[in-house]
Copies of this chain bind each other. A is one copy, B any other.
Amino acid sequence: MMNGSSPIGVIGFGVMGSSMALNLAKSGLPVLGYSRTASKVTALEHSGITLSSPDEIAQLCGVVLLSVSDGPAVQEILFGAYGIAPKLARGALIIDTTTNAPSEALSFATKCSELGLDLLDAPVTGGDVGARNATLTIMCGGPEETFQRALPFLNRIGKRVVLMGPSGSGQMMKAVNQVAVGLSIVAMTEALLLAERRGLNSAQVLEILQGGAAGSWALSNYAPRLMSGDLKPGFDAAHMLKDLKIALKEAAGHCSLPGTETTTELFEQLVTLHKGVGNHALIKAYKN
């Protein structure tokens, strides 16, 4: 079941999971997919992805990739209502691309290990564009051997795949990454807001900001969407809030992150006011 032609299971077909499943299928792997919303999988059947169930995936797949919303969702799939972990064959590999707390990742890996399973925490960055183009950065935590097993699969969905350290380290790196992303969005937002309120030309402002020491991925990728009025995720603001809260929890007792605290409060306001918007819509929290 662990050879090249055995199917890989994918659970979770959001923006990121769908693109990762498509790239795995495009590379020639049979993919069994499961989403609570079956239509998200059946919409991709022409691309070689077959609608399945958690039980069938547990039975047929030696490798399962998870892309769900958060730690509790992973818990439910592995050990809760769905409970695929005890049903998987010993030696199966679980690649969890979900962003969880490092402590959750460590706990999942430990419980899997007790069942004879390998689990790699492998959260990603690079956004919807990176997921579509298989150019994601994938931050891994787990034993070297588990990383090496996962690498042939991760190389089909990402461009930069790095082992950061033991289980949980991938999630810690993701928390660090989200601190920088969140604050980059605040940088973009406050600059554009001040410019707008003081009557500068937005297109000129953006060109100048991008060309100098203020330049960032956020400015180049998010600001044009924002300025065209497109607030759709991209990356959901509610997920950003979740990730920032993980980062603050991991910082507690180790360092004070006042900028991240301010950023978290701003995303809290955004998420309270607006549902289903991307993280680049933060300016809405300033304009309430």
Which of A's residues lie within 8 Å of B, judged by CB? 125-127, 130, 137, 139, 159-160, 162, 164-165, 169, 172-173, 175-177, 179-184, 186-195, 197-201, 204-205, 207-209, 211-219, 221, 235, 247, 250-251, 254-263, 265-266, 286
Asked if A201 and B257 sit within 8 Å, CB to CB, the answer is no
Which residue from B164, B179, B215 sits with its C-beta under 8 Å from A187?
B179
Asked if B213 and A127 sit within 8 Å, CB to CB, the answer is yes
Number of copies: 2
Query: Which B residues are in CB contact (< 8 Å) with A183?
Result: 183-184, 186-187, 190-191, 259
Q: Give 20 pairs: A residue, B residue, CB < 8 Å, sorted on A.
A: A125-B208, A137-B211, A162-B207, A165-B200, A173-B195, A176-B191, A176-B194, A176-B195, A177-B191, A181-B214, A183-B183, A183-B259, A184-B216, A197-B254, A198-B250, A212-B217, A213-B217, A213-B221, A214-B217, A259-B259
Sort A-B residue pairs by CB-CB distance and give the 3 closest, nearest first.
A183-B187, A180-B214, A125-B212
Q: How far is the CB of A248 from chain B (nearest CB, A)?
A: 9
Asked if B251 and A197 sit within 8 Å, CB to CB, the answer is yes
- Given A179-B194, A187-B180, A214-B181, residue A208 in contact with residue B262 (CB < 8 A): no
- Additional 10 contacts, C-beta under 8 A, given A137-B208, A184-B214, A255-B286: A125-B212, A137-B211, A164-B204, A165-B199, A165-B201, A180-B190, A181-B187, A184-B213, A194-B255, A197-B254
Which residue from B169, B189, B258 sits with its C-beta under 8 Å from A200?
B169
Asked if A250 and B194 sit within 8 Å, CB to CB, the answer is yes
Asked if B254 and A212 sit within 8 Å, CB to CB, the answer is no
Q: How far is the CB of A288 from chain B (nearest CB, A)?
A: 11
Asked if B257 and A208 sit within 8 Å, CB to CB, the answer is no
Q: How far is B171's CA from A175's CA once the two chains are assembled, in angstroms?
A: 36
Asked if A177 and B255 sit within 8 Å, CB to CB, the answer is no
Q: How far is B177's CA from A165's CA once the two chains are assembled, in angstroms?
A: 37
